[in-house]
Every structure is written in C-alpha cells, then in structure tokens.
C-alpha cells in the first residue's frame, strides 16, 4: 500500500535502478569488449559488477516485505500487461527509428515473458507466485532454523557455484535465475522477520560496500547467485534501513516507475540497437574518461526521467480502465483468498 511505503527503501529502489542502467550502458553498449585506456576500463569494470547486485537489491526489498504483503492475482495480470505494453512500445520505437529490420521481432511482444524478453520480469513474476506458497512454512521457522536453511541453500546456490566460476573462469548458475532470485528474496525475509542488523552504524556498511566494489573480481558479481552480488545487496539494505527518510511525492514518482524504466530500456532483442545506434556509446569507447562518465550520467538520467514519465502516464490510464475492472472482480478476490489462506 502506498501509505506504507518507506522513503529509505524506496530510495534504495531508485538507486538500484540507476545502477542497473549504468550496468546496461557498459554491458550492452559494448565498452567492456573495446580496447581503451585504463581509466575507461576501470569505469567499465565498476559498471559491470554493479548490475547484478542492483538486481539483487530489488529482489531483497521484495523479500523484506515477504511476511507482510498479500498475494493479489490482479498484480500478476497488471505485470503481464505492463510487460506486453513495453515490449510493443519498444518494438514500435525501433521500427520507426531504425527501419524494417526489426519488424520480424514484433511477434515476441505478444509473449514477452515466455520468450524471456527481459529475464528479470520472468524471475520476479515466478517468485511473486511462489512466495505465498512457501510463506506458511517460513512463518513456523525459528531464527536459528531459518538461518540454517539459508546456509544450506547458500552453499548449493551461491558458494560452490561462485568458487567453481572463479576456478574455471566462467559463470555458474546451476539452478537457474528463478532459484537464485528466490534465494535472495528469502534472505530479505529473514532480515525483516528477525530485524537483523549487520553493522551497528552506517560507516561499517559503507566501508565494506566500497571495499567490495574496488577489490573484488568480476567473477563473483556477474550472476545473481554469485557471492559478491548477494553480499553487497545485503549491505545496501542494511545501510538504507538505518536511514531516516520520509517518503514524498518525488521519491514515489520515481520508485513506482522503476519496473517500467527497466522494461523500457532493457529488451533482449533491441539492447544493441538502443545503446549503440541511438545513444551512440561506441563514440565514447576511446574518449577521455571524464567524457565517458559524463555521457553515462546523461544517458542514465535521460532514461530514468523519460521512462518514469511514460510509466506515470501508463499507470494513470491503467487505474481508470483495466485497473478498475480487475480490482472489482469477485472471481479474482476468491483466487486471492485461496492463495493467502
């Protein structure tokens, strides 16, 4: 509920979205594969490793409210419709700007989740459905038993795959993205359920976050299940929990649009076209480092602002049309009762 939004966690959500956009600039913009100066390589290195930890940041916030939210099938329908809307919008924009070569992908807009046009939405939708089914069991766990569960799952999902990835210089995610994302959500639930605090003050969180970003290898950050991305996401939550920030309209405007911003700029079939042909990232591969940073900043703010405005308009239209129909459906409310009970 909007009245229950916490400004500090909503601000963390916005920060994670900003980090994801920067990550996509470096990943899909192609700078990580280019031969460039050391300063640009360092910027690319940081840009790459912040992406998955930011994705985990989104998930850990969802998990933080694991024991509080009620399942609503209306939300699933709205999420699917939102995904379809942005998939079609992205296709249309690409066709208008870049010509007929993208028309063959228009069919994927009808089933964007099935075709994993955006992997995060598929995983997010899956855990939203799964959480109400496993929550009754989690509610019965003591703090010690819950921690043991996380440790056992962590060894299989996180620690062993991360170590193998470092040894063999490859990405290892044996159980898939959905299981990895669900595990991160369970960590968020544990932190919330037992009011866990990693450090007593914010300085400890900041030191370990910065230290982890500066010295760690990309191999422990490039997948959702890898150790580094999970640890930093946990520390970010621990840091922002300590902040006393009142929610306001500006924070709500951007935080409510984060998912829409993600769907607008990150599409399986048009990533290269968006970054290289529209935003011209290739022109900055060998540019002075400050110019590269400035271009990343401008692109990030532009995507966040444009995406938020579009999503705000979309939500207002949805609230007055399909939203009213879904919220008044007695059939859907009966389905909600089954899941929540």
319 sits in which H/E element:
helix 289-320
If we measure between CA atoms, which residue out of 299, 306, 265 comes closest to residue 284?
Answer: 299
Q: What's the structural domain count of the chain?
A: 1
| Distance between CA atoms of residues 336 and 341, nearest Å | 8
Which domain covers residue 169, as residue numbers?
16-288+300-340
| Distance between CA atoms of residues 81 and 87, nearest Å | 10
Domain assignment present for residue 181? The answer is: yes
pLDDT digits over 282-320, tens only? 888 888 999 999 999 999 999 999 999 999 999 999 988
0.85 surpassed by pTM? yes
Q: Could you tell me if 284 and 292 are in contact, meaning their C-beta atoms sit under 8 angstroms apart?
A: yes
Domain assignment present for residue 2? The answer is: no
pLDDT digits over 220-269, tens only? 666 677 888 899 999 999 999 999 888 889 999 999 999 999 998 887 77
Q: Rounded to 5 degrees, what are φ and ψ at 237?
A: -60, -45
Domain assignment present for residue 156? The answer is: yes
Domain assignment present for residue 73? The answer is: yes
| Distance between CA atoms of residues 109 and 117, nearest Å | 8
pLDDT digits over 116-162, tens only? 677 888 888 888 888 888 888 999 999 999 999 999 999 998 888 88
Cα 14 to chain centroid, rounded = 10
Domain assignment present for residue 200? The answer is: yes
Domain assignment present for residue 5? The answer is: no
Domain assignment present for residue 4? The answer is: no
How many CB atoms are located within 10 Å of the residue 28 CB?
21
Domain assignment present for residue 41? The answer is: yes
């Amino acid at each position: 509920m909007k009245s229950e939004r916490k400004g500090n966690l909503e601000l963390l959500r916005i920060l994670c979205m900003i980090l994801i956009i920067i990550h996509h600039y470096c990943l899909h913009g192609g700078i990580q594969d280019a031969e460039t100066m050391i300063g640009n390589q360092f910027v690319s290195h940081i840009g790459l490793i912040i992406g998955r930890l930011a994705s985990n940041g989104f998930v850990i916030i969802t998990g933080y409210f694991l024991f509080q939210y009620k399942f609503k099938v209306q939300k699933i329908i709205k999420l699917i419709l939102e995904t379809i809307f942005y998939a079609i919008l992205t296709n249309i924009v690409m066709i208008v700007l870049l010509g007929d070569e993208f028309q063959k992908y228009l069919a994927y807009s009808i089933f964007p989740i099935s075709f994993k046009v955006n992997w995060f939405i598929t995983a997010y939708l899956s855990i939203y459905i799964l959480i109400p089914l496993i929550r009754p069991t989690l509610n019965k766990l003591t703090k010690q038993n819950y921690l043991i569960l996380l440790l056992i799952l962590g060894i299989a999902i996180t620690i062993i795959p991360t170590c193998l990835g470092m040894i063999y210089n490859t990405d290892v995610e044996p159980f898939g993205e959905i299981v990895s994302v669900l595990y991160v959500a369970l960590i968020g639930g544990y932190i919330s359920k037992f009011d866990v605090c990693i450090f007593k003050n914010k300085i400890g969180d900041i030191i370990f976050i910065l230290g982890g970003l500066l010295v760690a290898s990309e191999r422990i950050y490039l997948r959702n299940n890898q150790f580094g991305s999970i640890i930093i996401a946990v520390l970010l939550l621990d840091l922002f929990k300590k902040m006393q920030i009142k929610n306001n309209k500006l924070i709500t405007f951007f935080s409510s649009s984060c998912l829409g911003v993600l769907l607008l700029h990150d599409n399986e079939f048009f990533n290269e076209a968006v970054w290289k042909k529209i935003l011209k990232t290739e022109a900055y591969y060998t540019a002075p480092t400050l110019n590269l940073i400035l271009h990343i900043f401008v692109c990030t703010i532009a995507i966040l602002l444009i995406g938020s405005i579009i999503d705000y308009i979309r939500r207002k239209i949805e609230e007055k049309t399909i939203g009213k129909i879904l919220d008044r459906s007695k059939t859907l409310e009966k389905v909600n009762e089954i899941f929540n009970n």
